[in-house]
Structure 1
């Protein structure tokens, strides 16, 4: 196995795997952290790596179950596949991805789930849509592309209740206007009206940290400065 994929003794992912802004994000430990970002910079991919480390850890090592909430099935599938990949990369024993149904208050509402179970007893549960409640749950809640969820305010209210029992809430999104609960959440934290840790990464900041290098690596092409400039302009 590639040793560069292993977290170090402190549980921090090594620099060879994640870019600086991705490491900055996953190394934030806070009850509530909010990431405002550009599109397609790989923040969810980095989040999946951190989620695997958390779910694979024992309870004594502060491991927890992770609940991921995307706003459509495609992003949910992409996320759980990334989690399975990270589990293999870290050489953590984990079950295959299991499909199931989330029990909801509304008997006519069926929420599909994708789950990876670890020997620690913790799981990563990815849901294809928003459950009507998260009561009785404990762990880490990840709300991805939060600005595009249909009722983010109610979802946040349910998720933040988990903080009472030592959970965490990670909110990640690009913006969708200013009159949006995601932007309002950011403004509340900035104004000191709500406790939380803010993180921000623009597209050009991601490029400065090596995003285009990773694009070239994935595509198997040489890194040419003129082509990077053209790529950035096109994006």
Structure 2
């Protein structure tokens, strides 16, 4: 079979070379997982007379694709066998592995040596009373994955191999749980993890583009695929082998979208009092400003801006244009870390009544997070649908929604609860905290004077805002 090496990428060759009884393929979408598995199954049927292979995928369209792949391999292998027979002056009629006209049907492939490949439905009962090699494709996307595994595993009990292939589908699937048990050493199954980045490194993008790509071209190809995903969660789960735990998100996508409207931005539309929230950052994370108008029963976003890698003087200028507004009642600024002196300068210019500094502790963040969640649940906030932010270099279609969705409730090993988001090049839940601070500005104004823990005043060298 060495002549077929040209058909496979390195990660596919590693899969074929692994003869473990149970193999799991944790993979990106469309990198040839089912393609290489169909070859392994055809090869096994040729080399093991009388073998039965039982294949099941999430739906029959995927199963039909698998049959097409098997048919393609049989045609290739038949052609190779015939060519070798001609070279060796052997009987060409006896060298076919399967009859391409009669042996390949919609749900079964019959080989001349008695081996068969059966394509089963996604009904768990389909594996019952079967014995042979088990191939479970798109395992994380079966509706009854627990029952599927319960039915499939005993079918291979007498020494037959099991192959499990899938992209992820959250953290509640049996597929995810099997992989976690393997990582913890609780199962000795072989796990092959191939995210899109590895697949591209080993030649997928080159094959798609029909030529050898440079490293920069591969990075650009990945960036375009990333941009094409509607959400960061899709990119992470479907392409990066990183399952998303929707259940732990503070604010779900559905809840975010329920509070979105088109065309609400515009300070010229604001007739009522305004409230501002500012999450301060400069380099890796995002500097985010929200301005909401109070219309009586809810707050409507009239301005939202985000910046990255800008000078402090530039960011200060963006903030002050809003603080100068005569109908802006109160602004709450994140004064944690570098935000401390930033807040202090704003208070010196506009007063402590108009500008409040909020120091992010676990307790304060918990209060802000829970209050913002309640605001979304009660439809007390209206935000612009999918706004654009020229001030940041983003690869994400909807930066605002992704950032709000990114904040999770995290329980530490010590039992402590904190609210945070993963720190990435796209931020750190910055839109979430900007909106939370703006909503807090309104609540704090309604409640009158409140005590907010502030950072210690700077004793040493001050930040040079004009020098950045």
After superposition, give the CA deviation of every residue in 1:181-226 in whole Å (9 maximum; x if it has no partner): 1111111122222231111111010011111122133xxxx44546
Shift of 1:130: 2.5
Match of 1:94 among 95, 98, 115: 98
Q: Identify the residue that residue 180 of structure 1 maps to in structure 2.
A: 173
Shift of 1:136: 3.0
Shift of 1:29: 1.1
Shift of 1:162: 2.3
Q: 2 CA distance for matches of 1:223 and 1:54?
A: 33
After superposition, give the CA deviation of every residue in 1:90-115 in whole Å (9 maximum; x if it has no partner): 1143134213xxxxxxxxxxxxxx11
Shift of 1:117: 0.6
Match of 1:80 among 67, 77, 87: 67
Q: Identify the residue that residue 139 of structure 1 maps to in structure 2.
A: 132
Q: 2 CA distance for matches of 1:94 and 1:181?
A: 35
Answering whether residue 176 of structure 2 is matched by residue 189 of structure 1, we say no
Distance 1:133 1:17, change over 3 A: closer
Q: Identify the residue that residue 21 of structure 1 maps to in structure 2.
A: 11
Q: Identify the residue that residue 212 of structure 1 maps to in structure 2.
A: 205
Q: Identify the residue that residue 47 of structure 2 maps to in structure 1.
A: 57
- Aligned residues of 2:124 and 2:144 also touching (Cα < 8 A): no
After superposition, give the CA deviation of every residue in 1:28-64 in whole Å (9 maximum; x if it has no partner): 11221111111111111011111100112234xxx62
After superposition, give the CA deviation of every residue in 1:150-191 in whole Å (9 maximum; x if it has no partner): 111111122111232111110001111112211111111222
Provide the alpha-carbon RMSD of the alignment: 1.9
Q: What SS does structure 1 have at the residue aligned with 2:62?
A: helix
Match of 1:41 among 19, 25, 31: 31
- Aligned residues of 1:69 and 1:143 also touching (Cα < 8 A): yes
- Aligned residues of 1:57 and 1:120 also touching (Cα < 8 A): no
Q: Identify the residue that residue 106 of structure 1 maps to in structure 2.
A: none
| Gapped regions of structure 1 (runs ≥ 5) | 1-6, 100-113
Q: Name the TM-score, length of structure 1 as normaliser.
A: 0.80
Q: 2 CA distance for matches of 1:194 and 1:155?
A: 18
Distance 1:38 1:164, change over 3 A: same
Match of 1:231 among 221, 243, 250: 221
Higher relative contact order (CA 8 A, sep 6+): 1
Q: 2 CA distance for matches of 1:199 and 1:125?
A: 25
Q: What SS does structure 1 have at the residue aligned with 2:157?
A: helix
Q: Say how many residue pairs are matched.
A: 204
Structure number with bigger Rg = 2
Q: Identify the residue that residue 246 of structure 2 maps to in structure 1.
A: none
More deviation in 150-159 or 124-133?
124-133
- Aligned residues of 1:162 and 1:168 also touching (Cα < 8 A): no
**Superposed, which structure 2 residues align to 1:119-158 within 5 Å?**
119-158=112-151
- Aligned residues of 2:56 and 2:120 also touching (Cα < 8 A): yes
| Gapped regions of structure 2 (runs ≥ 5) | 79-95, 226-468
